A and B are shown apart, each in its own frame.
Chain A
Amino acid sequence: MGNDAHDTGTANVDFAAVQSSPRFQTLRRRHRSFVFPVLALALVWYLVYVLLAGYAPEFMATPVVGRINVGLLIGLGQVVTTFVITMLYVSYANRRLDPIAAEIRSENGGER
Chain B
Amino acid sequence: METNVGNPILNIAIFGAFVLVTMVIVFRASRNNKTAADYYAAGRSFTGPQNGAAIAGDYLSAASFLGICGAIALNGYDGFLYSIGFLVAWLVALLLVAELLRNTGKFTMADVLSFRLKQRPVRIAAAITTLVVCFFYLLAQMAGAGGLVSLLLGIPDRVGQSIVIAVVGALMIVYVLVGGMKGTTWVQIIKAFLLILGAGVMTVWVLAINGFNLSTLLDRAVETAGTDAILAPGLQYGLSDVSRLDFLSLGLALVLGTAALPHVLMRFYTVPTAKEARRSVVWAIWLIGIFYVFTLVLGYGAAALIGADVIRAAPGGANSAAPLLAFELGGPVLLGVISAVAFATILAVVAGLTITAAASFSHDIYGSVIKKGNPAPGSEVKVARRTVLVIGVVAIIGGIAANGQNVAFLVALAFAVAASANLPTIVYSLFWKRFSTRGALWSMYGGLASAIILIVFSPVVSGAPINEATGLSTSMIQGVDFHWWPLSNPGIVSIPLAFLLGFLGTITDRKREDAAKQSEMEVRSLTGIGAEGATQH
Most buried by B among A8, A28, A67, A101: A67
CB-based contact A24/B87 at 8 Å: no
Asked if B528 is at the interface of the complex by the 8 Å CB criterion, the answer is: yes
Asked if B385 is at the interface of the complex by the 8 Å CB criterion, the answer is: no
Asked if B275 is at the interface of the complex by the 8 Å CB criterion, the answer is: yes
User: Are A105 and B529 CB-contacts (below 8 A) given A28-B522, A68-B218, A112-B273?
Assistant: yes
Asked if B309 is at the interface of the complex by the 8 Å CB criterion, the answer is: no
Interface residue tally for chain B (C-beta within 8 Å): 74
Residues of A within 8 A of B94 (CB): 86, 89
Residues of A within 8 A of B106 (CB): 3-5
Closest to B107 in A: A5
Among A31, A46, A58, point to the contact of B88 (Cβ < 8 A): A46
CB-based contact A50/B289 at 8 Å: no
CB-based contact B219/A66 at 8 Å: yes
Closest to B119 in A: A2
Among A35, A38, A49, A104, point to the contact of B84 (Cβ < 8 A): A49
Measured in the bound complex, the distance between the Cα atoms of B372 and A73 in whole Å is 55
CB-based contact B231/A72 at 8 Å: yes
What is the distance, in angstroms, from B109's C-beta to the closest C-beta of chain A?
13
CB-based contact A27/B282 at 8 Å: no
CB-based contact A79/B231 at 8 Å: no
CB-based contact A10/B219 at 8 Å: no
CB-based contact B255/A67 at 8 Å: no
Measured in the bound complex, the distance between the Cα atoms of B115 and A1 in whole Å is 9
Among B273, B292, B431, B523, point to the contact of A19 (Cβ < 8 A): B523
CB-based contact B88/A98 at 8 Å: no
From 220 to 266 in chain B, residues with beta carbon under 8 angstroms from any chain A beta carbon are: 222, 228, 231-234, 237, 239, 243-244, 247-248, 251, 255
User: Are A8 and B119 CB-contacts (below 8 A) given A65-B215, A71-B231?
Assistant: no
From 59 to 108 in chain A, residues with beta carbon under 8 angstroms from any chain B beta carbon are: 60-61, 65-69, 71-72, 75-76, 78-79, 82-83, 85-86, 89-90, 93, 98, 101, 104-105, 108
Residues of A within 8 A of B81 (CB): 49-50, 53, 75
Mask of A40-61 contacts with B, CB within 8 angstroms, 1/0: 0011001101110111011011
CB-based contact B84/A54 at 8 Å: no
Closest to A86 in B: B285
CB-based contact B293/A76 at 8 Å: yes
CB-based contact B95/A39 at 8 Å: yes
CB-based contact B530/A5 at 8 Å: yes
Residues of A within 8 A of B87 (CB): 78-79, 82
CB-based contact A31/B526 at 8 Å: yes
Measured in the bound complex, the distance between the Cα atoms of B99 and A34 in whole Å is 14
CB-based contact A101/B218 at 8 Å: no
User: Are A60 and B232 CB-contacts (below 8 A) given A3-B114, A51-B248, A105-B528?
Assistant: yes
Residues of B within 8 A of A47 (CB): 251
Measured in the bound complex, the distance between the Cα atoms of B370 and A101 in whole Å is 36
Asked if A9 is at the interface of the complex by the 8 Å CB criterion, the answer is: yes
Closest to A68 in B: B215
Residues of A within 8 A of B234 (CB): 57
CB-based contact B91/A85 at 8 Å: yes
Measured in the bound complex, the distance between the Cα atoms of B273 and A72 in whole Å is 38
Measured in the bound complex, the distance between the Cα atoms of B282 and A85 in whole Å is 10
What is the distance, in angstroms, from A39's C-beta to the closest C-beta of chain B?
5
Measured in the bound complex, the distance between the Cα atoms of B522 and A101 in whole Å is 12
Measured in the bound complex, the distance between the Cα atoms of B243 and A5 in whole Å is 47
User: Are A83 and B289 CB-contacts (below 8 A) given A43-B255, A46-B85?
Assistant: yes
Closest to B218 in A: A67
User: Are A50 and B247 CB-contacts (below 8 A) given A35-B95, A68-B218, A75-B81?
Assistant: yes
CB-based contact B219/A67 at 8 Å: yes
Measured in the bound complex, the distance between the Cα atoms of B259 and A42 in whole Å is 15
Among B219, B282, B373, B529, point to the contact of A110 (Cβ < 8 A): B529
Measured in the bound complex, the distance between the Cα atoms of B218 and A56 in whole Å is 21
Closest to B87 in A: A82
Among B91, B105, B516, B533, point to the contact of A5 (Cβ < 8 A): B105
Residues of A within 8 A of B373 (CB): 1-4
Residues of A within 8 A of B65 (CB): none
What is the distance, in angstroms, from B443's C-beta to the closest C-beta of chain A?
19
What is the distance, in angstroms, from B256's C-beta to the closest C-beta of chain A?
9
Residues of B within 8 A of A105 (CB): 527-529
CB-based contact A2/B368 at 8 Å: yes
Can you report 7 residue pairs joining A to B where beta carbons are below 8 Å apart?
A: A2-B114, A2-B372, A15-B520, A39-B96, A66-B215, A104-B527, A110-B530
Given A8-B532, A78-B84, 6 more contacts at CB 8 Å? Answer: A15-B519, A15-B524, A61-B232, A71-B233, A82-B87, A104-B523
